[in-house]
Amino acid sequence: MHVSVLLEPSLEYLAIQPDGIYVDATFGAGGHSLAILERLRGGRLIALDADPNARARAAAIEHPSFTFVHANFSELRRVLDACGVESVDGVLFDLGVSSMQLDEATRGFSFRERAPLDMRMNPNEGQSAYDVLATASERELADIFFQYGEERAARRIAHVIVERRAQGALPKTTTEFAQLVAGVVHRPGKRERTHPATRVFQALRIAVNDELGVLREGLHAAVDRLRGAGRVVAISFHSLEDRIVKHTFRDDERLQVLTKKPVSPAEDEMADNPRARSAKLRAAQRKAS
């Protein structure tokens, strides 16, 4: 079951005004959206999600102040223009892959079950993970694994992939690919805290969805459309995302950073929801012009 991470802190930092206009840039299962709607009286909430499966979940919310748009948050400017909204009071980003997507084996985000190597947030657009493995050069693959997964064996993994590709034996499923990576990375006799393929899967997913480029675009769009004293809140789940959020908030002269250090989940939340353990929340407010 999907549990909204850092729900109360995110609402606190959004400082929701009952008549304000807000954006949930990553609708997911709708937990954050529902909590925001409970606090609105005459305001409006616009929710976005690149995952086409989110549309059905959003349709279950019958609220006059709610609008759902199937779109990536990098398209935030276009979405707001289409909704006739010039500026907003707050934008919330809950980044990464939801537990629902991980649990849906056919999406290929996890190696816990055999599934096609897809990993696309929107399975109707762009290259799948298999397409990337089948077409990228050895150097490109090594760069993906090292830069996005901080995988020390990136070059060796990339070399083996290209060798297997030349032999016509490139893995087509999540479990087969995980086994290939584990065969390169695993050190006999050493007990691994996480599966040897974890970092490579993360890296490949980030590359497939251009997650870091999309995040930069989405954050800049959010700041551009904030009205005076408007706030942007971002919840990240790995260091690459958090670094982008931190630098974007710190380097934009229009913003005042509200979180000197990232907010982490309380012990009870981490106990109830293991996915929350790596979560970090940062918030910033637009300065009065």
- Tens-digit pLDDT profile for residues 245-273: 999 999 999 999 999 999 999 888 888 87
Strands 21-24, 44-49: pairing kind:
parallel
Residues of the chain falling short of pLDDT 70: 1-3, 97-106, 187-192
Return the CA Rg of the chain: 20
Q: Which domains can be identified in the chain, with CATH numbers?
A: 7-100+211-286 (3.40.50.150), 122-208 (1.10.150.170)
Looking at residue 98, what is its pLDDT?
A: 57
For residue 175 the two structure tokens come to 């479990």
Give the predicted TM-score (pTM) of the model: 0.91
Distant-in-sequence, close-in-space partners of 26: CB < 8 Å, separation ≥ 6: 48, 49, 73, 92, 93, 94, 95
